[in-house]
Amino acid sequence: MIDPDADLVRSAGAGDARAAEALVRRHLPRMVSLARRMLSDAAEAEDVAQEVFLRVWREAPRWKPGAAKFETWMHRVALNLCYDRLRRKREKTDPDAGLFVADTAPLASEAWLTQQRAQRVNAALALLPERQRAAIALVHYQDMTNIAAAEMLDVSVEALESLLARGRRALKAALADVAQDLLGDADGAARF
């Protein structure tokens, strides 16, 4: 297995600041994006990404290539941090959680509609069980193959496909009333 990050990780582990910076440039947007999809909170997503890179710096000197790609390990760390935060949120039961406050600032109608659609999709995504949400985030928002996503979730490809199918069905049901508008589909069927 060829790991495109192997040289950077080795150099970063030896204290090379440029290699560490290159790892951040290469992977930070994907780590933030994954965490944002999982947590539905930009600030928490940035905190998760920071924690991922703190762990990168700690583990880089000890990293042994071969078992998995470094990026795979980073995604797994990000998912585990997201799972931890989601569990803590469930334990705190906030009565205001899930409520959206409408933005009253004047927006162009199309921009407003786009924002509303995105909120509906993100709210529906946030209601999915963690593993279904992770599967959809990895495959559809991180553009990973089913094989790579299954590896990150530590499940078989068949189990991943089952998670995707259940997640897609739940999203389709949650968005049924807006599916045609969201996707511009003639028959209103959501295709996730």
Is residue 56 domain-shared with residue 123, that is, in the same domain? no
The residue to which tokens 């511009």 are assigned: 184
Tell me how far apart the alpha carbons of residues 12 and 21 are, in angstroms, rounded to a whole number: 9
Is residue 2 domain-shared with residue 89, that is, in the same domain? yes
Please name the residue ranges forming H helices in 40-178: 42-59, 70-92, 109-127, 130-136, 146-153, 157-174
DSSP, res 141: I
Q: At what angle do helices 42-59 and 17-39 cross, to 10 degrees?
A: 140
Residue 162: which pLDDT band, with cuts at 50, 70 and 90?
very high
Residue 188: which pLDDT band, with cuts at 50, 70 and 90?
very low
What local confidence, expressed as pLDDT, does residue 180 receive? 63
pLDDT > 90: what percent of the chain? 41
Looking up residue 155, the CATH number of its domain turns out to be 1.10.10.10
- pTM for the model: 0.61
The residue to which tokens 């786009």 are assigned: 114
Looking up residue 35, the CATH number of its domain turns out to be 1.10.1740.10
Which is more confident, 179 or 149?
A: 149
Tokens of 22: 């290159």
Is residue 28 domain-shared with residue 77, that is, in the same domain? yes
What local confidence, expressed as pLDDT, does residue 143 receive? 86
On whether residue 100 sits in a domain, the answer given is no
Tokens of 29: 């947007």
Is residue 111 domain-shared with residue 77, that is, in the same domain? no
Q: Across the chain, what does the average pLDDT equal?
A: 82
Domain residues for 115? 105-192
Rg (alpha carbons) of the chain, rounded to whole number = 19
Tell which residue, 24, 32, 27, has the closest CA to residue 137: 32
The arithmetic mean of pLDDT across residues 122-128, rounded, is 88
Is residue 6 domain-shared with residue 82, that is, in the same domain? yes
Residues 44-53 have pLDDT tens digits of 999 999 999 9
The arithmetic mean of pLDDT across residues 66-75, rounded, is 84
